[in-house]
Amino acid sequence: MTMHTPSSGASVADGAGRGPASERPRILIVDDEPTYREYLERFLSRDGLEVRTAETGAEAIALSRDFAPDLLLADWMLRCEMHGIEVGEALRNRWPGLRILLMTGFPTADLEAEAARVGIDGFLEKPFALDDLSRAITAALAGRGVGRVSGPATATKAGDPAR
């Protein structure tokens, strides 16, 4: 797994999210790989976001009872009872304005079609640049479409291409 800090000073916290300006955007990360999940939590927390993490879909749903996320950042292929799209559907039923970004190392046309049906805001193809992650979160929180962000061929990356 290759993970470095971003090269730009891009911030996703500036003017993003719901509520008063003093309220930080809330991000819920769901990934079954602890190292990756913890790294993203540290990166996004330093970027001014309020971040919670979950290893499973059930844990994410339980967390959402006390933590109303603005954005869900979920791995599509979780090794648990639910995949990322199912987690997104369950959380959006509770929080209709929830923005959803999926991370995947295996983008397919079928996955994109299912995600479009559900209203997923965008995809991040692993490995992805942290600058791309910041831009995707900013766009999603602002209500702009993100689409598919392909993994870079350069060194500023987060993600495990083997997943």
Helix (H) or strand (E) holding 137: helix 130-141
- Judge if the upstream peptide bond of residue 25 is cis by omega within 30 degrees of 0: no
Task: Return all residues near 77 (Cβ < 8 A) that are at least 6 apart.
Answer: 83, 84, 104, 105, 106, 163
Sequence-ordered list of residues with C-beta below 8 angstroms from that of 110, at least 6 positions apart, any chain: none
Q: Give me the pLDDT at residue 152, please.
A: 54
Cα dihedral across residues 129, 3, 122, 96: positive or negative: negative
From the list 56, 63, 109, the residue with the least C-alpha distance to 87 is 56
Quick one: average pLDDT of 83-101? Answer: 95
Q: Which domains are assigned to the chain?
A: 26-149 (3.40.50.2300)
Between 8 and 127, residue with greater pLDDT: 127
Residue 3 has pLDDT above 80, yes or no: no
In tens, the pLDDT along 96-141 reads 999 999 999 888 888 888 888 888 999 899 999 999 999 999 999 9
Report the pLDDT averaged over residues 29-47: 95
Average pLDDT, the chain: 82
pLDDT of residue 105: 87
Instruction: For residue 104, count CB atoms less than 10 angstroms from its CB and return exposed for 0-12, middle for 13-18, buried for 19 or more.
Output: buried
Query: What is the Cα–Cα distance from 6 to 85, expressed in whole angstroms?
Result: 27
pLDDT at 39: 94
161 pLDDT more than 50 = no
Look up the pTM and report it. 0.80
Identify the pLDDT of residue 60: 97
Rounded distance, CA 130 to CA 6, Å?
Answer: 5
List 130's β-bridge partners, or say none. none
